[in-house]
Structure 1
């Protein structure tokens, strides 16, 4: 099954086959009568490599739960395995080596699909607000009063 429609490509295949056979023969003992069949076999193998392979059938993904049911107030359900999480990002990275963007693309989810349960996000937000995060610092009520400058000390008089 050589590609004789393209002589330039066929010449490349012959050259590659010759190099491979030369390397093989230099390290292995081969009878002289077998070299021609060896070259032909290698050439055929190289030619077959360029033929387009059948693309594997795309099996439609079936999530563990429906996308609509995967987001609940208290947890997010992973579409890969059906487990419940408050935050899905770490599970996806450690178990499936997926980023949130890759996960969304794999399952055809919108870019605003949450990775954190809504109640958990609200609780974290309240905790942050209670600790004062996200607020500007308050300015000092009054500028500190400048203290009197310390008296300059004089060096002791020299003794002669």
Structure 2
């Protein structure tokens, strides 16, 4: 098991190097990866686990947004990703009870975008050109 654990730790270490992860996420990921690597090495057929259910109210976080359909973490839920679940952004919002115009992005990115738009003041520039 030590080899599997070591391999899992290397993968999680690389993942943690590119994004912020909580202690719980790291622990969970190491456990799942070690078990998965061991199962593959021993020739077991992995059953496709049902996606973890994500509470839509807790899915939009400060630095990430969780896909309620599969549980994966993103900064932005794109049309391309949602198409893998055969959904459009509009259908996704409706299915999980979000408001129609809610941006499918993490809170920090949403704040940055709002600030940038206020700085650009596009609504004032348009009036001057007429």
Instruction: Provide the TM-score with structure 1 as the length reference.
Output: 0.39
**Rg larger for:** 1
Instruction: Provide the TM-score with structure 2 as the length reference.
Output: 0.46
The answer to which structure has the higher helix fraction is 2
